[in-house]
Amino acid sequence: MNRRVSLRGIQPGSGPMLKLGWALAGVAGILFSVAAGAAQIDVGTGTGCEAATIQGALGIAAFNGAGTADQIRITRTLTYTNVAIEISDWDVANEGALTLSGGWDSCTDTTATGRTVLSGDPAAAATVRVRGPNETSVVTLRRLELVNATLGLLAEGASDVAVESSWIRLNDGGVEVAGGADVELDAGTEIVENSGTSFGAGALCTGAGSQLVVAGQILGNTATNSGGGIHANTGCVVAFRAGAVIQGNEANLGGGLFLTGGARAENLGTGSAEVDISENTAFQEGGGIYMAGTGPQTLLGNARIGGNEAGQRGGGVALIGGARLQLERFNFEQCLTPPRCVTIDENDTISGDFGSAVYADGGSEFRMFQGYLESNNGPGFAGYAIYATGAGTTMLFEGIQIAHNSTVALFRAESGAEITAAFVSAAGNNYEVADGTTILDSHGGEATGAGAVIELYSSILVDHQPFVTGTGGEIHGDCVLLDTVSGLTGHAGSMVGYDPLFVDAGSGDLHLQRGSPAIDSCDDFAYTPIDSDADLDARGYDFTSEPDILGPYDRGFDEVRPLFADGFESGNTGAWSSAVP
């Protein structure tokens, strides 16, 4: 048995720091004989209580024998202040898992409600510190409220901590995960209003092998430097799960989520609920997400990045110096609001005009599939919603609706950056000019500087002014439906001045009506689609009653298919189910 427990100042009158380990071998027999093999230890005053202090309960649990899973129930019959709990090498195989459980009104209570408040010791590293220098410490924190400390929770090394239905709030920092530790925040957990730290006010995750799993809410936290909600670096993985919310956080860089040093985020297999990164503020860059430096690609699906704000660059997303981010609808899962499963909407830049929706530079890569990019605003309702700059910087938009953004141009590429837009529909985008009263349609695109390229494939762009190219810039179109081709470097298979017959462009529905000239009008010679459309309809459905103009593919983000395309119309019954209702 190697586990050690250290506690300081658990509550008034608790006495000096108690250390439990081999030094207490002399009292082990007494502790063991009182509660040998016990799985439940109640802390409090009154009938049924085995311990009067948390450290007393941990002392009992420390000598319960190999493999015993212990639950320490922390009642609300006591007030817990200056709490500093340290748990080391609490290994499942040798000591059994440990649960600290709050929300109990008494030691005989059978149903927990609410939470038990543990007010931390400001002089300690954290209210609860879990370490695994030699063995993996496995600990669950359930229905606790960790407040008023330097950190609510610190997990280090070989430690595996589950936080369930708990609040971690009003600390300098909420949670820190370091050195290969694993922390999971369940759907009932909230990290709220922590401030006073430079990095990761809600959560800081650092080190190769470290993982932070978030299914709960990280709300209203403020970092003085970066990562108001979450700051992850040096190889940490942030894994979002169904219903995760990163909202209302603030920092200079990365108001919601900050990733650097090879850290990445993912939410593969999260379930039907969308991940919500919204209403965060970066006083400089990356209101919703800020990613910097080369490293693994971050993949997020069924996600909303909305209502975020940045002072200069990247109201929704800022990618700096080689960062890579991909957003897409997960075809294998439902989302709460189909087809709007992936959205970048209502983001702002305050004084800079560099990417109110997305900004990328320095060789970064941004890819977005099957989504909606809408109602993003720059300063004075101008600026650029989509902005890419620098050699090697690339953006790819496929199957995207771009509508009602306040932007000078639909796309802005500078100085070697490349933007590709394929199967994109754009309408209702405009900007306010300097006089404050005139509203003009957005330009189709702007490319300036050597190597700056915009390529448009199988897309529909309406309500737009001519394209603009500066010295060295190029804009190419293939199989596009446009208001004008003026300013394009080259174009083939264009349809100019046609009404695409959107369902309702004014209300933001750019699906095609059945009689649209964009249906069955493109091939895949210049660009082969990577994915289905936002409704999960496969590209290239061919209406036999419609003549193909260039091929069976529909222009724009929507691929029109008949209601019964699975067999009623075509006669192919291969997709039918044999199940009887």
Domain locations along the chain? 377-581
* pLDDT at res. 66: 66
pTM score, whole prediction: 0.91
Give the span between the Cα atoms of 345 and 326, in whole angstroms: 16
Distance of CA 123 to the CA centre of its chain: 33
User: Which residues 6+ apart lie within 8 Å of 501 measured at CB?
Assistant: 512, 513, 515, 516, 517, 518
pLDDT of the residue at 63: 80
- Determine what percent of the chain falls in helix, strand and coil, rounding each to the nearest 5: 5, 45, 50
DSSP symbol at 328: E
Report residue 87: phi and psi, to 5°: -120, 125
HEC string for 503-563: EEHHHCEEEECCCCCCCCCECCCCCCCCCCCCCCCCCCCCCCCCCCCCCCECCCCCCCCCC
pLDDT truncated to tens, each residue of the chain (581 aa)?
Answer: 454 555 443 333 332 233 333 222 222 222 333 334 448 999 999 999 999 999 999 988 888 766 778 999 999 999 999 999 999 998 888 778 999 999 999 999 999 999 999 999 999 999 999 999 988 999 999 999 999 999 999 999 999 999 999 999 999 999 999 999 999 999 999 999 999 999 999 999 999 999 999 999 999 999 999 999 999 999 999 999 989 999 999 999 999 999 999 999 999 877 767 899 999 999 999 999 999 999 889 999 999 999 999 999 999 999 999 999 999 999 888 888 899 999 999 999 999 889 999 999 999 999 999 999 999 999 888 899 999 999 999 999 999 999 999 999 999 999 999 999 999 999 999 999 877 789 999 999 999 999 999 999 999 999 999 999 999 999 999 999 999 999 999 999 999 999 999 999 999 999 999 999 999 999 999 999 999 999 999 999 999 888 899 999 999 999 999 875 443 433 444 444 444 33
Structure tokens at 120: 């931390």
Distances (CA, A) of 187 to 141, 192, 194, 217: 14, 14, 19, 7
Tokens of 565: 């395309």
Site of tokens 């080391």:
88
Which residues neighbour 25 within 8 Å (Cβ) at sequence distance 6 or greater? none
Which pLDDT belongs to residue 336?
Answer: 83
